[in-house]
Amino acid sequence: MSAIPHWLRNYRRSALAGDATAGVIVTVMLIPQSLAYALLAGLPPEMGLYASILPIVAYALLGSSMTLAVGPVAVASLMTASALQPLAATGSAQYISLAITLSLLSGGMLALFGLLRLGFLAHFLSHPVISGFISGSAVLIAVGQFKHLLGVQAGGHNVLETLAALAHALPDAKSVTVMIGASSLVFLWAARKYLARALMRLGVPAKAADLMGKLSPMLAVIVSTTVVAIWRLDTTAGVSVVGAVPKGLPAVGVPSLQGVGALLLPALLISLVGFVESVSVAQSLALKRQQRIDPNRELLGLGAANVASAFSGGFPVTGGFARSVVNFAAGANTPLAGVISAVLMGAVIAALTGLFHYLPHAVLAATIIVAVSSLIDFETLHEAWQYDKADAASLLATGVGVVAFGVEVGILMGVALSLGTLVWRSSHPHIAVVGRVPGTEHFRNVDRHAVDTEPGLIALRVDESLYFANASVLQDRIEALLAAQPDTREVLLVCSAVNLIDATALGVLTAMESSLRERGIAFVLSEVKGPVMDRLEATPLGMRLKGGIFLSTHEAFAQARRRNQETPAVP
Amino acid sequence: MSAIPHWLRNYRRSALAGDATAGVIVTVMLIPQSLAYALLAGLPPEMGLYASILPIVAYALLGSSMTLAVGPVAVASLMTASALQPLAATGSAQYISLAITLSLLSGGMLALFGLLRLGFLAHFLSHPVISGFISGSAVLIAVGQFKHLLGVQAGGHNVLETLAALAHALPDAKSVTVMIGASSLVFLWAARKYLARALMRLGVPAKAADLMGKLSPMLAVIVSTTVVAIWRLDTTAGVSVVGAVPKGLPAVGVPSLQGVGALLLPALLISLVGFVESVSVAQSLALKRQQRIDPNRELLGLGAANVASAFSGGFPVTGGFARSVVNFAAGANTPLAGVISAVLMGAVIAALTGLFHYLPHAVLAATIIVAVSSLIDFETLHEAWQYDKADAASLLATGVGVVAFGVEVGILMGVALSLGTLVWRSSHPHIAVVGRVPGTEHFRNVDRHAVDTEPGLIALRVDESLYFANASVLQDRIEALLAAQPDTREVLLVCSAVNLIDATALGVLTAMESSLRERGIAFVLSEVKGPVMDRLEATPLGMRLKGGIFLSTHEAFAQARRRNQETPAVP
């Protein structure tokens, strides 16, 4: 890997038009989003802007996706708030310092995982669990923003408490704020739903109409800010506004390492969730253009982005779904689109922050609510329910866990559920007693097919690798069969679906073979795969089984029949 | 399940001789062990005796093993001490109350798991991890007892600190205590190693000689107590002794529920470890007599034993390895052996506790050290190293984790490692590109065999079920192959080893099929198993694949060839 990324060394002029268009459009989306997600994270608005400059450049240099748009995103911002609120007063100097440290830690972890090539860590989360987590987070985020729409103070430790506090604070709602918030909400929702279609009817090409629909939040920002500024609604009607945003590029500085201990777990969770989300977006976009994503380089790119965010006064960032899709659709060919966006954001912060003074919080809240409402995903739940009840249950439990206990407990529940489902599934392997389909060399489940069996022989096919989660289940099944068929002289294990025998399972098989041997019952195997056989051969069990491992189930049956003919079983 | 257990309703007189012999022998073993493990748990000696009466009876009524000996054991006692020491001063009234609560919680959890039929929870721990945990705990326990051999006060947060404290306290060692401790240690070690052999040479039958070897701790107790009592070494030479042990049966009382919160995790870990150990001992003994163990009834039995322990002033108990083996070898036929043992223990505590007054702590420490030294298991490490480096690494890491960070962190590391290994393994599935063995209908790995391939067709066999841990790895592999073979017209996935496709993998396959279709590449499957097919059929992917799912790989190749003949690929 050279210091100059591949896309830059081989940059073609033909890519520039697409990159520039995408860069401009993403910037227009990014301005309100970066302010809104800073608000969501409990941080001053300029930190959202800071987090949208250097991180994008860092990712462009190290990441592997051509179209991923990195920056502040809703779920990571919520997780940031949730990690920091127990540690410091929201918005205080310590809170800000901890947010920067969190970004540094998260970036350090991601980069370390990348260097150690631990991209597989993303696999600890199943798709249903992620879906449940995102949906639950979206509910949390949306409910948490209602107070800004009403112009009141109201919070709680969970959704129910927050709703109760909101109901209680309702009489204090500020009417002008409510009007601004409600009209923004209706406008943004209608724009999302109908604007593209309306523009198409007016003759705008589909793609352009779609992109213009994405710019409605900026329109809401401009109109509402203008209205508030003209009538000074902040003082005359108590509309809460963003206020003074410091002008000037972020000071690059070394983040503090204070409070690292309490931030380790949150940083890990933010890294994990951010990485999983980011990679899945990057992957789906790359596939459409037959490009490739390297998960380990993604870890490096996202790690560098977060470290850059920390050094320039930002907070945790990752690849966002909505902006990446827009970036792709607007024609981004290379990360230069992101770099252009970063330069534009730099220009905004260097000169134009004064324009945000009268931007009402209610409009940012409406932006957040409309953005996250599309994250609530009932379709995956429905599909999972149809396809696999266990997966649907994980999804629901994770979603409910997030809403009831917050993001950290929710994501930990999700990891536990993913792994629990995995262990539970493999601890209940499909085990079939098989017999020969008459006149063939094929063997099938005796419960499903009319097959021939051999007296004194129990032939079992286990449809799972044998490891700690299921080895004793196999043993139990064999003992149950032996108890039911006391005249058994041989137990045959058909290993066609056994891709691995781990040390635990080897121990169980070894003990079982000894126990069967003591009872005068032979234990034999068939269809052992090459890699499994390679390992098994050198073990004491492998040596004792020598001559009892058959290439095919057919041969094992043939031998059992020969033995039955030579020495008929005593009834 | 009737209220009267099966073994009792059908009790045969012929079983009584064996049960009575075993009951007496186990009692003689149990007396020093129960005192020693109470010492190890940091509790007064009578609590060890209490934990050896009602829990045995409760297990006899509800458990499923005929020969498991339930009571205080080394590892659970260590875990008890480790859970309580951060919460209260060792041996204080609060400490004792917390120990009782811990037993109640652990019992309640075990019983609940039994009622919910969660016996599969035991599968969260792989055999190597358990081995590492037990070995590490044995080291911790042995090192923790050295202070009693020296007659000094010395402790630390980990093994290194404890050893340093011991070295520092060495000048204060009490010479008579050291002599008693050292001679007990040498005697017990020699008895364990040579006594049975020596007795056999003197004409004692092998089995009897072996059992007599197990009684040497009682002999050490009797001799040392007598010596200390005659010369009053407790006052003349400062030998630390057990002292007054309250006489009388335990008062049955309702345990306090104070401090439950802090005890939940320790209780869960003690339950888990105790259950896993207990079931594996019970299972291996049952197999020798062709009996069956029901893991869910074991949970109930052990749960009841711990609840009984709590209500009679004891501490966490479980099935012990050493005593169960002796019980079995001494001829126990039914849990009546345990009941006899409980009655004898009741008699001891009702009348004979005065005899323990002069029992030196050094002898109990020597008993513990010799007992746990046999738990340190290098053989499993050696075997695992030979067979599977990943398993050996989990074992080592868990063992080192216990020694360095204590039992709780150690066991949690163990669970994480077991699951991590599982995910890591299945996230690196064996994926082979296959071709036809010339002249056959068999298909083999192109890297291992001289096989024929079909131009434009990539045929892959994945040797693993497809689920969240590996679905994207398959996708990456396919994309990498497509990048290397841009003239591909069809991707065939041979599913002979795929026992499950979970919702995550279904999502990945669905997205992949769409992406391939957009690029004009067909995606087809072969050898899909019945249960997998049943589910797949109803999904959107299943419908799109209709006609592209072949019973055999042979048919899939035949169709690819036909297509190649009809419409030859453009070079």
Distance separating alpha carbons of residues A20 and A14, to the nearest angstrom:
11
pLDDT computed for residue A1 by the predictor = 46
> Rounded to a whole number, what is the distance in Å from the CA of A392 to chain B's nearest CA?
9
A530 touches chain B (CB under 8 A): yes
Average pLDDT over residues A329-351: 93
Distance separating alpha carbons of residues A373 and A375, to the nearest angstrom:
5
A467 touches chain B (CB under 8 A): yes
Cβ B57 vs Cβ B339: under 8 Å: yes
Say which residues have a Cβ less than 8 Å from residue A180's Cβ, sequence separation at least 6.
A224, A227, A228, A233, A239, A360, A362, A363
> Rounded to a whole number, what is the distance in Å from the CA of A513 to chain B's nearest CA?
11
B168 touches chain A (CB under 8 A): no
> Rounded to a whole number, what is the distance in Å from the CA of A124 to chain B's nearest CA?
6
For residue B424, give the chain A residue with the closest CA.
Answer: A120
CA distances from B239 to A160, A517, B150, B152, B166 (A): 63, 53, 10, 10, 18
Say which residues have a Cβ less than 8 Å from residue A251's Cβ, sequence separation at least 6.
A312, A313
Instruction: Starting at the earlier edge strand, list the strands of the sheet with A431-436.
Output: A443-445, A431-436, A457-462, A490-494, A522-526, A549-550
Cβ A462 vs Cβ A474: under 8 Å: yes
Cβ B316 vs Cβ B76: under 8 Å: yes
Answer yes or no: is pLDDT of A553 > 90.
no
CA distances from A156 to A147, A161, A169 (A): 11, 5, 12
How many CB atoms are located within 10 Å of the residue A70 CB? 35
Average pLDDT over residues A111-139: 85
Nearest CB to A463 within list B288, B499, B503: B499
Q: How confident is the model at residue A3 (pLDDT cuts 50, 70, 90)?
A: low
A472 touches chain B (CB under 8 A): yes
Contact residues, B window 117-146, toward A, CB-based 8 Å cutoff: 120, 122-128
pLDDT computed for residue B570 by the predictor = 54
Of B115, B32, B37, B3, the C-alpha closest to B355 is: B32
B398 touches chain A (CB under 8 A): no
pLDDT computed for residue A386 by the predictor = 87
Based on its alpha-carbon atoms, the radius of gyration of chain B, rounded to whole angstroms, reads 30
Contact residues, B window 176-215, toward A, CB-based 8 Å cutoff: none
Q: Which residues pair with A71 in a beta bridge?
A: A318
For residue B394, give the chain A residue with the closest CA.
Answer: A503
Contact residues, B window 426-455, toward A, CB-based 8 Å cutoff: 426-430, 448
**A339 is written with which tokens?**
């770099």
A555 touches chain B (CB under 8 A): no
Query: In chain B, what residues touch A288 (CB-CB under 8 Å)?
Result: 515, 518
Say which residues have a Cβ less than 8 Å from residue B229's Cβ, sequence separation at least 6.
B357, B358
Nearest CB to B387 within list A128, A463, A503: A503
Nearest CB to A464 within list B292, B429, B499: B499
Answer yes or no: is pLDDT of A2 > 60.
no
Inter-chain residue contact A124 with B388, CB threshold 8 Å: no
> Rounded to a whole number, what is the distance in Å from the CA of A78 to chain B's nearest CA?
25
CA distances from B187 to A447, B233, B412, B450 (A): 60, 20, 37, 66
For residue B497, give the chain A residue with the closest CA.
Answer: A497
Query: In chain B, what residues touch A295 (CB-CB under 8 Å)?
Result: 476
Query: In chain A, what residues touch B123 (CB-CB under 8 Å)?
Result: 423, 427, 468-470, 472-473
**Within its chain, how far is the Cα of B58 from the centroid?**
22
Q: For all residues of chain A together, what is the average pLDDT?
A: 89
Query: In chain A, what residues touch B423 (CB-CB under 8 Å)?
Result: 120, 123-124, 419, 422
- Between β-strands A522-526 and A490-494, what pairing exists: parallel, antiparallel or unpaired? parallel
Give the residue from B113, B499, B533 with the most A CB atoms within 10 Å of its CB, the best one to mutate: B499
A33-89 confidence digits (pLDDT tens): 999 999 999 999 999 999 999 999 999 999 999 999 999 999 999 999 999 988 999
Q: How confident is the model at residue A210 (pLDDT cuts 50, 70, 90)?
A: confident
Of B60, B49, B58, the C-alpha closest to B345 is: B49
A502-545 confidence digits (pLDDT tens): 888 998 899 889 889 988 999 999 988 888 898 898 899 999 99
CA distances from A369 to B248, B335, B556 (A): 69, 64, 50
Cβ A524 vs Cβ A545: under 8 Å: yes
Inter-chain residue contact A422 with B290, CB threshold 8 Å: no
Average pLDDT over residues A265-280: 90
Answer yes or no: is pLDDT of A469 > 70.
yes
Q: Which helix (H) or strand (E) holds B120?
A: none
ipTM of this complex: 0.74
Farthest CA pair distance, chain A: 105
pLDDT computed for residue B569 by the predictor = 57
pLDDT computed for residue A571 by the predictor = 47
B85 touches chain A (CB under 8 A): no
Contact residues, A window 257-286, toward B, CB-based 8 Å cutoff: 283-284
Distance separating alpha carbons of residues A56 and A233, to the nearest angstrom:
36
Residues of chain B with pLDDT under 50: 1, 571
Q: Which residues pair with A160 in a beta bridge?
A: none
A481 touches chain B (CB under 8 A): no
Inter-chain residue contact A423 with B120, CB threshold 8 Å: yes
Query: In chain B, what residues touch A539 (CB-CB under 8 Å)?
Result: 383, 386-387
Instruction: Give the up-direction half-sphere exposure of residue B283: CA atoms within 13 A in the CB hemisphere.
Output: 19
**Within its chain, how far is the Cα of B400 from the centroid?**
17
DSSP conformation letters of B354-418:
GGGTT-BHHHHHHHHHHHHHTT--HHHHHHHHHH-HHHHHHHHHHHHHHHHH-HHHHHHHHHHHH
CA quadruple A324, A330, A334, A340: dihedral, nearest 10: -90
Give the residue from A293, A388, A427, A468 with the most B CB atoms within 10 Å of its CB, the best one to mutate: A468
Distance separating alpha carbons of residues B158 and B141, to the nearest angstrom:
11
Give the residue from A65, A118, A463, A528 with the most B CB atoms within 10 Å of its CB, the best one to mutate: A463
pLDDT computed for residue B437 by the predictor = 84
B552 touches chain A (CB under 8 A): no
Distance separating alpha carbons of residues B330 and B324, to the nearest angstrom:
10
Distance separating alpha carbons of residues A52 and A40, to the nearest angstrom:
15
Cβ A384 vs Cβ A392: under 8 Å: yes
Q: Which 3 state secondary structure label does DSSP give A362?
A: helix
> Rounded to a whole number, what is the distance in Å from the CA of A223 to chain B's nearest CA?
40
DSSP conformation letters of A234-295:
HHHS---B------SPPPP-PPP-TTHHHHHHHHHHHHHHHHHHHHHHHHHHHHHTT----H
Inter-chain residue contact A288 with B424, CB threshold 8 Å: no
Which amino acid type is present at position A546?
K
Nearest CB to B463 within list A391, A499, A535: A499
**A22 is written with which tokens?**
């995408």
> A74, exposed or middle or buried, with CB in 10 Å at 0-12, 13-18, 19+?
buried
Inter-chain residue contact A465 with B470, CB threshold 8 Å: no
Distance separating alpha carbons of residues A238 and A174, to the nearest angstrom:
7
Inter-chain residue contact A518 with B288, CB threshold 8 Å: yes
A153 touches chain B (CB under 8 A): no
Q: Which 3 state secondary structure label does DSSP give B538?
A: coil
Query: In chain A, what residues touch B424 (CB-CB under 8 Å)?
Result: 120
Inter-chain residue contact B504 with A448, CB threshold 8 Å: no
Inter-chain residue contact A427 with B120, CB threshold 8 Å: yes
For residue B294, give the chain A residue with the closest CA.
Answer: A476
Inter-chain residue contact B418 with A531, CB threshold 8 Å: no
Query: In chain A, what residues touch B481 (CB-CB under 8 Å)?
Result: none
Q: How confident is the model at residue A569 (pLDDT cuts 50, 70, 90)?
A: low
- How many CB pairs below 8 A link A and B? 175
**B45 is written with which tokens?**
């000696």
Query: In chain B, what residues touch A418 (CB-CB under 8 Å)?
Result: 468
Q: What does pTM read for this prediction?
A: 0.75
Query: In chain A, what residues touch B427 (CB-CB under 8 Å)?
Result: 120, 123
Which amino acid type is present at position A253?
G
> Torsion-angle region of residue B491: left (phi > 0), alpha (psi -120 to 50) or beta?
beta
Contact residues, B window 357-396, toward A, CB-based 8 Å cutoff: 383-384, 386-388, 391-392
Inter-chain residue contact A290 with B519, CB threshold 8 Å: yes
Of B137, B112, B54, B536, the C-alpha closest to B315 is: B54
